[in-house]
């Protein structure tokens, strides 16, 4: 009888450990949505301008999620995402092809709205940057890039739409 109780307790412990591990994987699920190839059309582009192509090759590496970004067939930065203790909040870090890390940023995901934010020391004064992506389904993103010198009053510097190229991830 004692062995049966110990076996039952061990089975419950394993089940709970397994169930406890599931949320750790799910924290990365929203990030996978950005993988794939996207066509970018900027709102202020002159008529006849060809859209840009963004390719995100993404994977989970241990506790990190990373996307190598290629724009118009030119390798760009590696964007690294690190989940925090707050659901939907990630630290971000770009690493350039030269191996240099830019300043740490933040990503807040709230449903279909993703807000990237960061700051930069521009010779003695801080510039705040914000990119807002609003997903419409899995294959369309409207984006707006803004900057501010005080973190309160924002100026839009670019906006447009990204459309997933058919047949790429998700």
CATH number, residue 114: 2.40.128.20
5 in a domain, yes or no? no
Tell me whether residue 6 is in a domain.
no
The reported pLDDT for the residue numbered 41 is 96
CA distances from 104 to 27, 42, 110, 119 (A): 19, 26, 20, 8
Look at residue 20 and tell me if it is in a domain. no
What's the pLDDT at 67?
Answer: 96
Give the model's pLDDT for residue 169: 74
Angle at 133 between CA 79 and CA 46, to 5 degrees: 100
Domain count along the chain: 1
Alpha-carbon span 86 to 15, nearest angstrom: 25
Q: Phi first, then psi: give them for residue 32, nearest 5 degrees.
A: -65, -20
The model carries a pTM of 0.81
Distance from C-alpha of 97 to C-alpha of 99, rounded to nearest angstrom: 5
Residue 88 lies in a domain: yes
Q: Which domain holds residue 117?
A: 30-164
Query: Is residue 21 in some structural domain?
Result: no
Distances (CA, A) of 27 to 20, 33, 78: 13, 12, 20
**61 in a structural domain:** yes
As averages over each run of 10 residues, the pLDDT of the chain (170 residues) reads 36 36 71 95 92 96 94 95 95 95 95 96 92 96 97 96 87
Contact assessment for residue 39 and residue 55, using Cβ atoms and an 8 Å cutoff: no
Tokens representing 52 are 């840009």
Residue 2 lies in a domain: no
pLDDT at 1: 42
Tokens encoding 80: 């690294």
**Strand 113-121 with 105-110, pairing:** antiparallel
Q: How far apart are CA 84 and CA 86, in angstroms?
A: 5
């Amino acid at each position: 009888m004692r062995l049966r109780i110990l076996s039952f307790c061990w089975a419950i412990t394993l089940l709970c450990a397994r169930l406890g591990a599931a949320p750790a994987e799910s924290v990365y699920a929203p990030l996978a949505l950005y993988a794939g190839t996207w066509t970018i059309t900027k709102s202020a582009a002159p008529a006849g301008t060809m859209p840009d192509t963004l390719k995100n090759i993404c994977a989970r590496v241990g506790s990190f999620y990373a996307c190598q970004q290629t724009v118009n067939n030119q390798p760009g930065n590696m964007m690294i995402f690190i989940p925090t203790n707050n659901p939907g909040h990630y630290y971000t870090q770009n690493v350039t092809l030269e191996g240099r890390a830019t300043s740490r940023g933040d990503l807040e995901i709230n449903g279909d709205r993703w807000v990237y934010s960061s700051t930069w020391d521009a010779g003695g004064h801080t510039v705040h940057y914000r990119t807002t992506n609003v997903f419409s389904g899995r294959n369309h993103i409207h984006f707006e890039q803004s900057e501010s010198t005080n973190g309160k009053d924002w100026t839009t510097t670019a906006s447009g739409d990204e459309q997933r190229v058919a047949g790429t991830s998700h």
